[in-house]
Amino acid sequence: MDRTILEVQNLSGGYGDLIIVRNISLSVYNGNTVSITGRNGVGKTTLMRLISGSLPLTSGKVNFLGNSIAEVPEHKRFNLGMSYAPQERIVFDNLSVKDNLTLHYLETDLDRYSNLFENFPRLRERLGQRAGTLSGGEKKLLSFTRAIAEPSNLVLLDEPTEGVQSDNIELMAQVICSQKSQGRGFLVVDQNLTFLESITDTIHLLDHGEQVYKTDNKRFRGEIETRISI
């Protein structure tokens, strides 16, 4: 049974008067991954920030689990069941890795992370370290781990593989696929098409802030590459 988790209709927005993305519509169903790709600077991150609530909408609708969340502040979307791993400033540099993983829970134990630590043992080794001392790829893993472990229906991942080693990228894809099978939905922005092909059900191509191509075909790599290189 396909239940709609996220429904975005004719969404436009940006920074103040400057509109970056226009007229975007997409839906994420449970057990599905919707991906967004495109060249740098076409508005992918802006779109994610509009959906996560970091930026206010200019027009359009965002429904989450059947209710409009356009007016819901960002921190409350977390409680509704939306996880978000942003593209930049992805961890709290001054806090320890452990604090990064626990500050938003009442309990400070790490039980919820035990499975994820199996995949990414480096994080467990560095629990006491300041997150600012991690490499860029390790920070991405930390941010990914934090978002995945949250008890949410939808996970927004913005460029999760940037700077991450290839064997860890494969592990990330595996984690996403197993989570999908448990009914979670994903909205992923990335430029690594190999990674995207292994997780995606529907992909959207963005250019100059507009949707230019969409396909449910799982083998989209050739088509997307031709369109991007034009």
Partner 1 sequence: MEVFVTFLLNLIYISATLALIALGLAMVFGLLGVMNMAHGEFVMLGAYSVYVVQLAGQHFLWAIPVAIVICVMVGWLMEWLVVRHLYSRPFDTLLATWGVAILIRKGVEVIFTRDYKSVNQVMPGTIDLLGVSYPAYRLLLVALIIVLFVALFTWYQKSKAGLKIRAMVQGPELAAAVGIDTARLSRLTFIIGVSTAGLAGVLLAPLVRVEPYIGLDYLMSSFFILIVGGLGTLEGLLIGSTVIGGTDAIVSTVFDKTAGYMSVLLISILFLWLRPDGIFYRR
Binding site for partner 1 (CB under 8 A): 52-54, 73-76, 78-79, 84-86, 89-95, 99, 103-104, 106, 146, 150
Structural tokens at position 147: 């978002």
Rounded to whole angstroms, the Cα distance separating 171 from 161 reads 11
Using a 10 angstrom Cβ sphere, with 0-12 exposed, 13-18 middle and 19 or more buried, the burial of residue 94 is exposed
CB of 24 to partner 1, least distance (A): 20
Closer residue to partner 1 (CB): 103 or 212: 103
Closer residue to partner 1 (CB): 84 or 113: 84
CB of 93 to partner 1, least distance (A): 6
How many residues in the chain? 230
Rounded to whole angstroms, the Cα distance separating 136 from 163 reads 6
Closer residue to partner 1 (CB): 84 or 144: 84
Closer residue to partner 1 (CB): 150 or 170: 150
CB of 50 to partner 1, least distance (A): 13
CA-based radius of gyration for the chain: 17
Closer residue to partner 1 (CB): 89 or 219: 89
Distance of CA 108 to the CA centre of its chain: 25
Closer residue to partner 1 (CB): 45 or 161: 45
CB of 225 to partner 1, least distance (A): 32
3 state SS of 191: coil
- Asked if residues 172 and 161 have their Cβ atoms less than 8 Å apart, the reply is yes
CB of 138 to partner 1, least distance (A): 16
**What DSSP letter does each residue of 92-122 carry, written as one string?**
-TTSBHHHHHHTTSS----GGGHHHHHH-HH
CB of 200 to partner 1, least distance (A): 23
Rounded to whole angstroms, the Cα distance separating 124 from 139 reads 13
